[in-house]
Structure 1
């Protein structure tokens, strides 16, 4: 978990020293990244946390309606999950200098110069996984046990993703008759995106008798962007394929959500947002 103060300075300092934008970004923030084991630990923690969130959401909704048939259709549904982890690192250098010749020439002539350089690297990792709702249900008193020792670098781990709230709204629609034919064509999709930017700069300056260095602008600056995106699609199981896939409209909705997210990210990147 990134904390203000010391950790922020360490992250920016580490990014500048490592040459952000000149290598593939690490999944975890400095100083936790740097090894396969530490980076994989974060991905595994996110997947476990999302799995727990799904189990708790399904169990909570089904148990809340244990005495009615309103939520029975869910047991014939599945959940397709897409996790996207996008990281961008960028560094820039902008040294400036000015030279003043000896008097009296300095009163009418001076020489200044500047250099601009930047490097930008982006990494996008995606993983899809699938569950049957019947496999997610934990029973009348079930509750997923969270791993309290897992990494907490991602807000997908730390936050309530509101899956239960959205699933409950779907079931309420069926219970009130506002949603019909739920087992044929209806699809429930839920998307959560967390994006965090961290940036900083450093500009040591020198002022000599006949020259100055870095009196304006930033000598070195660094940016690290982390975007963690989660798409969850609930839909009926496709009985024509042994119930191991969502019905076609569910699969199409899931793919469309990922494409839309990718296009939006692309436009933001092109616009420099």
Structure 2
């Protein structure tokens, strides 16, 4: 019976950590999981395109109210590099313990006043075993858009909704971030700028969700001369799912083939962001010394 319960607990929390973790939930098929990932990428594209359109409209409206010209026309020379990192981590731990106890006769301590003291005695031997497994699967997807390409997209408003689910499928608030930077660039003397040029070199926007589930099972026995699993957990299982989105925005240039590509400083900044992200994740998952 206990073996069956252990199997149910491990499966319910994402599977055994001795095998490659699966991104699917227990009720989800592989094609359904692929489709959900496609929807996620489309959702990010929608959120980014809507943010750029909102910023462009804000700049155009501002040029009418505060002439003579647009002050964020440089947005048309920018683009965005997107990195989507999805990971799942399964952990299992099995730690049985056993203690054998032999009762001994009581010891009597004799005092000349206030009576004697009787103390119980026993001899015990403890045995323990620990086994643990940790498995992580990570998928990284990178893609790039120029803002000019985003403005040409024809997005279905019935599908391009701000909130389609939890975590990265929710409202990512990219427009809030971009509008904040745009508004700051409009303030006199807030940033040094040249006419027609962006006062910024790059923008970086990151969103991260960490979802942890876990459970344990500990049957225990305590007999006269034998006891088992009196402390700790006999079996524990946990799953950590991490969804992380990094968007770097910067100026684009035209390459020899006429394609819009990230300028070198823009490209370098995105690479540095990914390196910093990887180091931070490694430090978080490092076991304690």
TM superposition score category, shorter chain reference: 0.7 to 0.9
Q: Which residue of 2 aligns with 1:22?
A: 18
Q: Helix, strand or coil for the counterpart of 1:70?
A: coil
Give the TM-score normalised by the residue count of structure 1. 0.81
Query: What is the deviation of 1:134?
Result: 1.9
Give the TM-score normalised by the residue count of structure 2. 0.77
Does the 8 A contact of 1:237 with 1:243 survive in 2?
no
Which structure is larger by alpha-carbon Rg, 1 or 2? 2
Does the 8 A contact of 1:12 with 1:199 survive in 2?
no
Does the 8 A contact of 2:205 with 2:246 survive in 1?
yes
Give me the whole-angstrom Cα distance separating, in 2, the residues matched to 1:110 and 1:82.
Answer: 57
Instruction: Determine which structure has the larger strand proportion and give its number.
Output: 2
Cα deviation digits, residues 72-122 of structure 1 (max 9, x gap): 221221111010112211110111122334776995323321111100011
Calculate the aligned-residue CA RMSD, in Å.
Answer: 3.2
Aligned residues: 257
Alignment of 1:114 with 2:128, yes or no, is yes
Query: What is the deviation of 1:129?
Result: 0.7
Q: Which residue of 2 aligns with 1:49?
A: 43
Q: Which residue of 2 aligns with 1:269?
A: 285
Q: Which residue of 1 aligns with 2:267?
A: 251
State how 1:33-112 maps to structure 2 within 5 Å: 33=28, 35-67=29-61, 68=63, 69-101=70-102, 107-112=121-126
Give me the whole-angstrom Cα distance separating, in 2, the residues matched to 1:208 and 1:184.
Answer: 76
Query: What is the deviation of 1:137?
Result: 2.4
Query: What is the deviation of 1:207?
Result: 3.0
Unpaired segments ≥5 residues, structure 2: 1-6, 64-69, 107-119
Does the 8 A contact of 2:207 with 2:244 survive in 1?
yes
Inter-CA distance 17–63: structure 2 relative to 1 (3 Å threshold): closer
Unpaired segments ≥5 residues, structure 1: 1-9
Query: What is the deviation of 1:256?
Result: 0.6
